[in-house]
A = this chain, B = another copy of it.
């Protein structure tokens, strides 16, 4: 592949993310990563501690790729645009999603990520505990949404052909699944969550 010579930590992690995006997590091996950088696998150990550190770096790179929109002061807008910015970043790297379930959140990128999200919730949640609960709920919703909808396609279930006796509820909603819009789903979920927040605020 490329031949950047002058290998360093940042270029190793960039190559790792590119490899994951292009061919999936299982394609990320030290040997293939070295190959992408025009270097033998063993050379990588000069720049990263081990493969775990590479995975941590990929996780961090994904979080760092979120482009946080400017804060306007209208909290509903700010929460919505921030959620979409996060969702967009995850959509760029669907193959990296499993890392969100295995990497502990103690990197600089993780902290910055949480910092940015918290900043959008200071207005509706003056109480710090509620604010943390709200920010984690919001992030959980976006992460879960990405998990459900960005899985490697494979062959999705054939909802037309399923057994209506065994799965009556699924059969009932099957017609809407043929042209289902995941983005509308997230918008709806954000609407509902924020409506609940607003209601809590008033009471």
Contact = CB atoms under 8 A, between A and B. Distances in A.
Given A132-B180, A192-B199, 20 more contacts: A98-B102, A102-B151, A104-B153, A105-B151, A115-B167, A128-B172, A132-B173, A132-B177, A133-B188, A133-B189, A136-B148, A137-B145, A137-B186, A139-B148, A140-B141, A140-B147, A141-B189, A143-B148, A147-B147, A191-B200
A76 interface: no
Interface stretch (A15-23, A27-35, A106-114): A106-114
Nearest to A170: B115
A47 interface: no
A73 interface: no
A98 to B, nearest CB: 4
A157 B194 contact: no
A119 interface: yes
Contacts of A104: 151-156
A92 to B, nearest CB: 15
Contacts of A191: 196, 200
Main secondary structure of the interface of A (DSSP, over half): helix
A176 B132 contact: yes
A128 B172 CA distance: 7
A101 B97 contact: yes
A130 interface: yes
A152 B192 contact: no
Interface string A62-106: 000000000000000000000000000000000001111111111
Nearest to A132: B173
